[in-house]
Structure 1
Amino acid sequence: MDIRNCNDPVYETWLDEVRKVAHVMEDMVDEYLHQVGQEHDMGCCFYLKKGLRRPRSLLSLNQIASNVREIEKDLANLAETKNRWVSMVNNGDNSNSNYIVKRSQDLANISRSLDEEDLVGMDKNREILQQWLGGEDAEFSVITVNGMGGLGKTTLAANVYRKEKEKFQCHAWVSISQTYCTEDILRNIIKELFKDRVDVPSNISMMDITCLEDILKRFLWKKKYLIVLDDVWTPEAFADLSRALVCTDKGSRVLITTREGDVAALASQGHILTLESLPEDKAWDLFCRKSFSRETGHECPEAMKLLTKEIVGKCKGLPLAIVLVGSLLHVREKTVEEWRRINDQLTWEIINNSRLGHIRNILYLSFIYLPTYLKSCFLY
């Protein structure tokens, strides 16, 4: 199932029918293996003793064969229905990309809005990023923050961006994501750069890519600017935008956050910041801050420490997961029974609890980006 189709009722109905047939097929395979296994266990002597009499299992195999023929008809009908009525999203088709865009925006929004106190264990990375952005080096430089989803790339970048942006003559923050339109990204950069200015270009919504690039080049010329490109998935996405980014000697910076190593490699020499999962002590500290914010010193009650450590361990050091799960438990009753119940059904909570939707987004966006053959392996 391609989750980009998940809001299409026709697709959902068709998929339900596919599931039903798949379950019947699975039952048929089990029944066949059961019958073959029985014959193998009985051995050839059974048939010699019975002479030419037809074994009862053969009748069952005939019935299975008949059922298989019916299933084949069902599959043919499903294939015909899909081709005629179900509009599928293929790997190269962006026609139904709103789902990805919305998920990316949701994830970016919550990541940007996290407080500074959520940057536990990020002090060193924050200092490095501030030094690269706010340094006196007059050369134009590209800085990349790299790491898997949920490590806090956007949160860190947003925190440093808020502190450093006033050192630049102009600044802009735009989210790219997997599905993007170069013209729309250029328009968003222009809108951000011209925010609170009276000389905003008119009719940019009607301009083609050449005009948009020209406006951007003329505006950035001889300026010290800071532009953040959040959530870049391919080198081509940056290449499409870089034509409009003037390389001046004013100390301008472009900051990229990405999950992909080949995008991170676009950085100027020595300007790749790779984030890692939080170590156990930092993960514990962050979780307790979110879950026990009302307790003195954010202390976890002694009776609940064992269960709490299990829950923190399931977050695998991912700051976003720790913050969201911790915030969820913050509003739950602080008893061993309640937390044991949450711990036992944490997988269910992640799938179904709306407060944890952003963890699902991390997984969904990564899954969509996989090539088809790896999706099959992942599901297996």
Structure 2
Amino acid sequence: MAEIVLFLAIKKIGIALAKGVADQASVQFLKYGTQLLELQSTMGRVASELRVIHDVLCQMDTRNRNNQVYEGWLEEVQKVAHVMEDMVDEYLYLAGQEHDIGCCFFLKKGVKKPRSLLSFNRLAFKVKETEKHLTHLSEIKNRWVTLINNGDTNSSNYIVKRSQDLANISRSLDEEDLVGVDENREKLEHWLAGDDLGCSVIALLGMGGLGKTTLAANVYNKVREKFQCHAWVSISQTYSREDVLRNIIKDVFKDDVSVLSSTMAMDIVCLEEKLKKFLEKQKYLIILDDVWTPEAFDDLSRVVTHNDKGSRLIITTREGHVAALASPGHILTLAALPEDKAWDLFCKKSLSKRYK
């Protein structure tokens, strides 16, 4: 996802501008004193611009991803981020930091270093040109990229379908596709199997692309049969409360055709009542995937009954104020993979198909 691409570029620039690297660069580029300060300032400005774009993407309505013009613009931004990462790697290499910077893992994994390094002046020029390119892209967005936010039916349908597609992909990943989730998976399984007979609300918190849905799905598939009934629903930023209720009912009553038939003509009030009465007597596990607002959680939690049977409700979200709705001590915050795990995942995904 674009958020991850920008996040990694921002992180790498931050490493390059850290004091230890800056001190080493001052020694290596002693004769370029003024130019070095300007280069570092330029990298800082690029990082600031990327950080703002990243934060906007994290908050932006999913429907904008259906805008072809916007998608083209975002691709260009990602290209800039990749180019900037390459130049920061070059800067770190020239500064003699290739063995000390964890982020530059590929320089330590047997990949050949560049045969010809850019001169300092050439590097500074290219970073400056990258800043200009990024500024130009911002201007293009303001002039031409219309972010769709009118709530029309087509956009809403797209959002729901897109969210469901992404959730289905994450839920279908095999065990061998997962990397670096053992600790989080163990903790989540422990919470689900805990002795608390109340309805524990568990939150998986993290930015888009960190694997919240994948982790939840992996554990859900393992433990759901330990509950009397279970359901998985994708919420997203735009959702139909009635559709969500019907999807939960479809899951929890999956073996009862007569009940499913009787609910087809029910309005939303009757659906809520039907579901609530059923869940009162069940030990249930329900996943609310991709919850964006506390209001969305409140809307759907009305049917969730605290019935002292050890039921569990898991929400995945990228919003801290939504995760705060979880039971005390039941927020699992996902972070980017450490270097070694990221490398393992890269090799697994990029090399497995090649050698099949």
Q: Is the 8 A contact 2:67 2:148 kept in 1?
A: no
Q: Is the 8 A contact 1:145 1:274 kept in 2?
A: yes
Partner residue of 1:163?
222
Matched, 1:151 2:206: no
Residues 238-258 of structure 1 deviation map (CA, whole Å, 9 limit, x = unaligned) = 111111111110000001111
Partner residue of 1:282?
341
Say which one has the larger Rg.
1
Q: Structure 1: any 5+ residue segments left out of the alignment?
A: 13-86, 294-326, 333-380
Partner residue of 1:212?
271
Q: Is the 8 A contact 1:134 1:167 kept in 2?
A: no
Report the RMSD for the aligned CA atoms in angstroms. 2.9
**Partner Cα separation in structure 2 for residue 6 and residue 242 of structure 1:** 29
Q: Is the 8 A contact 2:291 2:322 kept in 1?
A: yes
- Structure 1 residues 183-332: aligned runs within 5 Å: 183-293=242-352, 330=354
Q: Is the 8 A contact 1:94 1:179 kept in 2?
A: no
- Structure 1 residues 1-380: aligned runs within 5 Å: 4=63, 89-90=148-149, 93-95=151-153, 96-293=155-352, 330=354
1:150 deviates by 0.9
Q: Is the 8 A contact 1:213 1:244 kept in 2?
A: yes
TM-score (norm 2): 0.57
Paired residue secondary structure (2:188): helix
Relative distance call for 1:231 and 1:8 in structure 2 (3 A) is closer
Paired residue secondary structure (1:232): coil
Paired residue secondary structure (1:188): helix
Greater CA deviation, 119-128 or 98-107? 98-107
Amino acid at match of 2:348: R
Relative distance call for 1:105 and 1:272 in structure 2 (3 A) is same
Q: Is the 8 A contact 2:62 2:159 kept in 1?
A: no
**Partner Cα separation in structure 1 for residue 287 and residue 231 of structure 2:** 6
Partner residue of 1:308?
none
Q: Structure 2: any 5+ residue segments left out of the alignment?
A: 1-60, 70-145
**Partner Cα separation in structure 1 for residue 320 and residue 65 of structure 2:** 30
Residues 135-163 of structure 1 deviation map (CA, whole Å, 9 limit, x = unaligned) = 22212110010101111111110010011
Q: Is the 8 A contact 1:143 1:267 kept in 2?
A: yes
1:287 deviates by 1.6
Greater CA deviation, 233-242 or 205-214? 205-214
**Partner Cα separation in structure 1 for residue 289 and residue 167 of structure 2:** 8
Kindly report structure 1 stretches of 4+ aligned residues shifted beyond 3 Å.
2-9, 87-91
1:100 deviates by 1.7
Q: Is the 8 A contact 1:146 1:258 kept in 2?
A: yes
Q: What is the percentage of aligned positions where both structures have the same residue?
A: 70
Residues 67-100 of structure 1 deviation map (CA, whole Å, 9 limit, x = unaligned) = xxxxxxxxxxxxxxxxxxxx99535x35331222
**Partner Cα separation in structure 1 for residue 175 and residue 271 of structure 2:** 35
Partner residue of 2:114?
none
Amino acid at match of 1:122: V
Between Structure 1 and Structure 2, how many residues are aligned? 222
Amino acid at match of 2:168: N
1:181 deviates by 0.6
